[in-house]
Chain A
Amino acid sequence: MADFVMPILGADMDSGTLIEWKKKPGDRVAKGEIIAVVETDKAAIEIEVFTNGVVQQFLVQPGETVPVGKVMAVIREEGEQAQPAAPPPIKPALMTTPSQPPAPAPPAVEAGRLKVSPSAKQLALEIGVDLALVRGTGPDGAITREDVHRAASLTHPSPSPVAVGEATGTRGEDKGEGRVSADRQARMRQTIAAAMTRSKREIPHYYLGTTIDMGRAMAWLKEENSKRPVTDRLLYGVLLIKAVALALREVPELNAVWKGTEPVQSDAIHIGVAISLRQGGLMAPALHHVDAQSLTELMRNLQDLVKRTRAGTLRGSELSDPTITVTNLGEQGVETVFGVIYPPQVALVGFGKVVDRPWVEAGQVVARPVVTATLSADHRVTDGHRGGLFLAALDRLLREPSQL
């Protein structure tokens, strides 16, 4: 049997509301399928299941708000026998005399709030441990730091709970309207405030910038697009995202998350793309395995991601997976971005607008389209030297657009 629990969809999430089940008891589910839609302070999110099996029982009904880690459904894993959906057997009562106080219930059986030390809770969020699966050994069965560390070493590294972003709120009844209540707006703002405050408090940022000659990239893009049907045309932003992904292969130290006391590099390059929302606020959901995608695939996936971000139908993994963020404020006329890193990521890449500037080439002043690329990076993890290598790689890659 496997438990399907309320997932952590952001470092600051402590509960979520079930909007609807996408499956019925008895349905077969496969890893990666959408099983439920959960609403957080920030968005309605489609939640994937991480087990192959059959839905045995739902423990939470639509409309209920439950804490992170609460078991919401039981899934019978493949090969297991069907079991009657019954509550867990109650232990026979101990022989007690009336004068004895009742023995405290074992913590695992207690409903509602998990007993977790403040420090353990913080740690679990930082290193991405699902507290519902941790056995507490502290006072009164509370989960301690050591318990979280132990659980982290036992389980596969789960997706880091990156507090990335906020989507338009889409409650069941106003789905599609994209309406965001003032209350929701305020909470979204608070979410961003918490993440950004944490970032500036905990992450010693350093900033590097370089101006990149986009002449060849823009010319290549123009020519490439002239060969494509209108629907398949590439936006230049896709070149930037792909170039960042390839540069990260050369400087993998920037593609990491900070886990409590040390950085952990990510094997995959999942780039969080900062997407601003019409109602205000922003989010940065992940484009997965960017380095392995063609520009055409990336373009399609980016369009889909932007659309779903604005519609509020993101998936949990898209919120929790980014290992770095790219933000492009060129459309707003910004020339240089000094970005704030989204914890627990360790870097953010910013792009300004492409502008024609006088550029000296072979002793001649010529007009060139250029863009300022900046890197905000966590100085605990990398130094300016590494950061510089990254920007140099980015510069080189953007000068060879046909290789992207």
Chain B
Amino acid sequence: MTKITYREAVRDGLREALQSDPRVFLMGEDVGKYGGTYACSKGLLAEFGPDRVRDTPLSENTFVGAGIGAALGGMRPIVEVMTVNFSLLALDQIVNNAATIRHMSGGQFTVPLVVRMATGAGRQVAAQHSHSFEGWYAHIPGITVLTPATVTDAKGMLLSALREPDPVFIFEHAFLYPMEGELDEQAGAVDITKAAIRRPGRDVSLITFGGSLWKALQAAEQLATYGVEAEVVDLRVLRPLDTRTMLDSVRKTHRAVIIDEAWRTGSFAAEISAQIMEGAFYDLDAPVARVCSAEVPIPYPKHLEDAALPQSATIVRTVKGVLGQI
């Protein structure tokens, strides 16, 4: 085991991918000379040269489209769209091409494209730079949506994504990049079909993904001091969703609180809630509860931003409500 930051784990994954497969290349804004906005590709330009690590213009729709073309042409492109906020400019290529070409070509072509981007709020970068749209992407059939929350997943999911014949979108919560974790020296590709129980418990299921996982785990710690054993489910894969792990947990604990940094209305949390209602209604001992962001543009001032986002204290309070303790 080595102690490693999440960003270093991503870099490890990128390096290993570039080393092991000549078809792999990385492109995106500032990934080369600057080393990536989040320093994930620092040093890779020097190591692999400008053909394999390519800086692109500020033109998301164009370079995602170029990635689709390269994938169709037999390459294994990794496209870094700096953040989910800017990915909105590439939605046409993503929704209308990447996700549909296999279908539209009657299976003649697949798009083995990997797109990475940062997501999430909490760093005082103001409303336009604080979105959490991974739930939107999970709405689209034809793509896989991953939300690595640990260093093992940060590295491993990238390697697994490159083995997929169809487009995979990886959402890295910006808050996680400096987070440290233990990475096994042998760590490689990981399963990308299953959710994971990050903490077993019997009283309530905290269902979450990405950056919110750590807030949920923190809340679970705190709840344990009150004698409440929360089970923390890290969904990991938003599409295709591993419904079984989640429902099994709810069937065990009989209560569910969903934590999703997106806005509540029409959120992925709403989808989870509906699936629990469809699959485990008679196992529920309390209404499903959601901890989501306030329905406002995410504020810039720290105290307001903190108040707008899910926090471990909010999760604890919500769990107590679900347990009838408030």
Residues of A at under 8 Å CB distance from B? 117-120, 122, 136-139, 141-142, 144-146
In the complex, which of the residues A119, A137, A141, A146 has the most CB atoms of chain B within 10 Å of its own CB atom? A119
Among B88-129, those with CB < 8 Å from A are none
Question: Which residue of B283, B322, B323, B324 contacts A118 across the interface (Cβ within 8 Å)?
Answer: B283
Question: 17 A-B residue contacts at CB 8 Å?
Answer: A117-B284, A117-B286, A118-B281, A118-B283, A119-B254, A119-B283, A122-B282, A136-B324, A138-B286, A138-B323, A138-B324, A139-B287, A139-B321, A139-B323, A139-B324, A142-B286, A145-B254
Q: Taking the complex as formed, is B221 at the interface, i.e. its CB lies under 8 A from any CB of chain A?
A: no
Distance (whole angstroms) from the CB of B67 to the closest CB of chain A: 47
Give A151 to B281 CA distance when docked, in angstroms: 23
* Contact status A118-B321, CB under 8 Å: no
Residues of B within 8 A of A138 (CB): 285-286, 323-324
A93 to B284, CA, bound (A): 35
Residue of B254, B281, B283, B286 touching A139 (CB-CB under 8 A): B286
Report whether B282 and A145 are in contact in the complex, using a CB–CB cutoff of 8 Å: no
A183 CA to B323 CA, complexed, in Å: 42
Q: Specify the chain A residue showing the minimal Cβ separation from B322.
A: A139
Chain B positions 248 through 291: 1 when the CB is less than 8 Å from some CB of chain A, otherwise 0: 00000010000000000000000000000000011111110000
Chain A residues positioned under 8 Å from B254 (CB to CB): 117, 119, 145
Residue numbers in B under 8 Å from A119 (CB-CB): 254, 282-285
Cβ contact of A142, chosen from B281, B282, B283, B324, cutoff 8 A? B324
Q: Whose C-beta in chain A lies nearest to the C-beta of B287?
A: A139
Chain A residue nearest in CB terms to B203: A146
Taking chain B's interface residues, is the majority helix, strand, or loop, or is none over half, making it mixed?
Answer: loop
A136 to B323: give the CA distance in the assembly, Å. 11
Which residues of B sit under 8 angstroms from A142, Cβ to Cβ? 286, 324
Q: List chain B residues, Cβ under 8 A from A139.
A: 286-287, 321-324
Tell me the minimal C-beta distance from A94 to chain B in angstroms: 20
Please state if B324 and A137 are interface contacts (CB–CB under 8 Å). Answer: yes
Complex CA gap A138/B286 in Å reads 7
Give residues of chain B (282-311) contacting chain A, Cβ–Cβ below 8 Å.
282-287
* Inter-chain contacts of B286 with A (CB < 8 A): 117, 138-139, 142, 144
Picked from B282, B283, B321, B324, the residue with its CB within 8 Å of the CB of A144 is: B324
Which B residues touch A144, using CB under 8 A? 285-286, 324
> What are the residues of chain B within 8 A of A146 when measuring CB–CB?
285
Residues of A within 8 A of B322 (CB): 139
Residue of A nearest to B326 (CB): A139
State the Cβ distance, B153 to closest chain A Cβ, in Å. Answer: 32
Specify which chain A residues have a CB less than 8 angstroms from the CB of B284 in the assembled complex.
Answer: 117-119
Other A-B pairs beyond A136-B324, A139-B321, 15, CB < 8 Å: A117-B254, A117-B285, A117-B286, A118-B281, A118-B282, A118-B283, A118-B284, A119-B282, A120-B285, A122-B282, A139-B287, A139-B322, A139-B323, A142-B324, A144-B324
Closest to B254 in A: A119
> Chain B contacts of A122 at CB under 8 A?
282
In the complex, chain A residues whose CB is within 8 Å of the CB of B324: 136-139, 141-142, 144
Q: How far is the CA of A215 from the CA of B322 in the complex (A)?
A: 65
Measured CA separation A206–B11 after assembly (Å): 57
Closest to A136 in B: B324
Residues of A within 8 A of B282 (CB): 118-119, 122
